[in-house]
Homo-oligomer: A and B are copies of this chain.
């Protein structure tokens, strides 16, 4: 009888425990989901703040007479981009795949049911992706600064966020053909930065250089004239804000705070940025005899762009090397586009985002190490320098080149259509007086004595 009582008690306690345990399981897993959601949202907020960084960098590195215009372009590509990505872009990027080329559902946040944990995570994921889309869009405004017609720019903003960017995103992040080939672009050196960089390159080509940028010398050769930015402290603030925001951009790309490789990613991100600033400074020091502040600031961005693809799969030491190369590369690329190709990119956006984005994508194929990739949940991945074969590097190169091709062709067609219809460039007179007064009817620095011929 005693045994029966004990056994019965044991079973009753077990039932109680089992019930409790399930309740407890629920709480533990909902805590995990909360940590992931909180992390992804905070990262999204940081990436949003990069908009302020881009606005300050681009305004600071250009002339005072165009500062309001730059600000408006940044505000509007984010605003239009947010609505366009909500309506269409997200679905094209992450919807059910059509032949690995583009997505086809999930428009207007229809996947995000607010009454379930999964639906809410999906809604947070949308925000994280939306601020990424807007980053790609806003990179372009720097390359097209000081001469683009505002209404034409608004049209561009919608097209890149609805079509050009989401298709690339689908290929690499949305289950499309490049992701199936095994391409790794962890936080978007290609998806975000190269897309912005190459679209900016096409924009700068179609627009042509600013008035007075290239002057024919006696021998009939074009000389590039430096057009200095009007507010370097503001640009520097912008770079610090971007660096700060990149801690959301890269570590946030785990979309999970319970994936502790966020620690490694934050560290590789920071070391590459630091290394990029240092190597760009010394490269500029050697080439121009002075440690130029603009180049050093761009060097930090170059390091950040370069580490964006490999941030989760490389060691801190490799991150330093990647950053050092990125910083050298950006100085050489700025000179190449400016002095050899005579393409006028006022803030160096093509060099920073296009060139270093491509380099970072290839760096995955060189520097990836399995022990980092596995911690980040990316499986057994090794680059050429760490026992991997040439296959990964080949896939990375294929991806980088395919995106270059897609963006170049679509952006070129888009800018040409805008040029023929709305118009892409302001008149010479408008450009000389400044876009602030001509396009927006206002001045950036009312009351200050500013030399308007600059």
- Complex contacts, A75 vs chain B, CB 8 Å: 236, 239, 277, 293, 296-297, 300
Report A365-390 CB contacts with B as 1/0, cut-off 8 Å: 00000011011000000000000000
Is A416 an interface residue when CB atoms closer than 8 A count as contact? no
Rounded to whole Å, the gap between the CB of A390 and the closest CB of chain B is 25
Report A28-50 CB contacts with B as 1/0, cut-off 8 Å: 11111111011101101110110
When A35-B31, A45-B244, A375-B115 are in contact, do A448 and B446 touch as well, CB less than 8 Å? no
Rounded to whole Å, the gap between the CB of A53 and the closest CB of chain B is 9
Report A229-256 CB contacts with B as 1/0, cut-off 8 Å: 1111110110111011001100100000
- Complex contacts, A52 vs chain B, CB 8 Å: 237, 240-241, 244
Would A371 and B114 count as touching, CB distance under 8 A?
yes
Closest residue of chain B to A130 (Cβ to Cβ) is B270
Would B59 and A440 count as touching, CB distance under 8 A?
no
Closest residue of chain B to A8 (Cβ to Cβ) is B6
Is A258 an interface residue when CB atoms closer than 8 A count as contact? yes
Report A431-454 CB contacts with B as 1/0, cut-off 8 Å: 000000001111111111111001
Would B233 and A150 count as touching, CB distance under 8 A?
no
Bound together, the chains give a CA A451 to CA B443 distance in angstroms of 14
Would A278 and B83 count as touching, CB distance under 8 A?
yes
Bound together, the chains give a CA A258 to CA B33 distance in angstroms of 8
Bound together, the chains give a CA A260 to CA B32 distance in angstroms of 12
Among A196-214, those with CB < 8 Å from B are none
When A48-B244, A292-B441 are in contact, do A114 and B375 touch as well, CB less than 8 Å? yes
Would A444 and B232 count as touching, CB distance under 8 A?
yes
Would B34 and A257 count as touching, CB distance under 8 A?
yes
Q: A34-B257, A64-B447, A75-B296 are in contact. List 12 more A-B contacts (CB 8 A).
A: A13-B14, A30-B258, A48-B270, A55-B240, A63-B446, A72-B296, A76-B278, A114-B375, A124-B263, A228-B443, A228-B447, A291-B439
